[in-house]
């Protein structure tokens, strides 16, 4: 079973769950298409690094809502990243052999998420994103950056068993 990134649930608002995440390390590939980026990152965690060490996979996979993907990844429109296991520190992360892989840190942050099942088709993700943003606007909770899709299952998991979430960073006062 793939380990999930640890977080603390900090509250709820209807379908929205608020979570606080610790600082995280990411292996990132930029400037390639989704399939190539995934392949490069998968090779990296499979031992294509200076120490030839395998890095355990983690979930979720995070992608911009327009890029369908399943694996432990964080992505923006031009980049895709795999989360390093939570116990890794910068000095523990194997140095990449492929120059397209870079290691970066994400500071602690709080996310608002809505969970849903299925294959995360564009229309479904868009609908969940709109519900999330509308509820946060109505509650007066400011967002940071753009929403993203989080997927927790392998590409081989049947759609009805897949766990997906749309999330966005938020700034809630008084927490």
Q: Give pLDDT tens digits for 105-137.
A: 989 999 999 999 998 888 999 999 999 999 999
Contact in structure between 151 and 60 (CB atoms under 8 Å): yes
Could you list the beta-strand ranges (E) of the chain: 3-4, 8-13, 16-21, 24-30, 58-59, 61-64, 74-76, 79-83, 101-106, 109-117, 143-151, 163-170
Domain boundary among the residues 88, 106, 124 is at 106
Query: Is residue 30 one of the residues assigned to a domain?
Result: yes
Judgement on whether residues 37 and 95 belong to the same structural domain of the protein: yes
Domain span including residue 126: 3-21+109-170
Domain boundary among the residues 54, 84, 106 is at 106
Whole-model pTM: value is 0.81
Query: Is residue 175 one of the residues assigned to a domain?
Result: no
Is residue 10 predicted with pLDDT exceeding 80?
Answer: yes
Query: Is residue 78 one of the residues assigned to a domain?
Result: yes
């Amino acid at each position: 079973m793939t380990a999930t990134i640890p977080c603390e649930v900090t509250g709820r608002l209807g379908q929205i769950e608020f979570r606080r995440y610790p600082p995280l390390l990411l292996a990132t590939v930029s400037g390639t298409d989704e399939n190539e980026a995934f392949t490069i990152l998968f090779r990296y965690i499979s031992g294509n690094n200076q120490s030839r060490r395998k890095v355990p996979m983690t979930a979720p996979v995070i992608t911009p809502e327009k890029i369908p993907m399943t694996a432990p990844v964080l992505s923006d429109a031009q980049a895709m990243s795999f989360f390093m296991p939570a116990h890794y520190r910068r000095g523990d992360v194997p140095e990449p052999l492929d120059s397209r892989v870079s290691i970066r840190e994400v500071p602690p942050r709080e996310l608002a998420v809505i969970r849903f099942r299925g294959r995360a088709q564009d229309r479904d993700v868009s609908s969940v994103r709109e519900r999330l943003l509308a509820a946060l606007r109505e509650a007066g909770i400011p967002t940071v950056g753009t929403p993203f899709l989080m997927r927790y299952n392998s590409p081989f998991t049947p759609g009805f068993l897949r766990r997906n979430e749309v999330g966005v960073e938020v700034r809630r006062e008084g927490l």
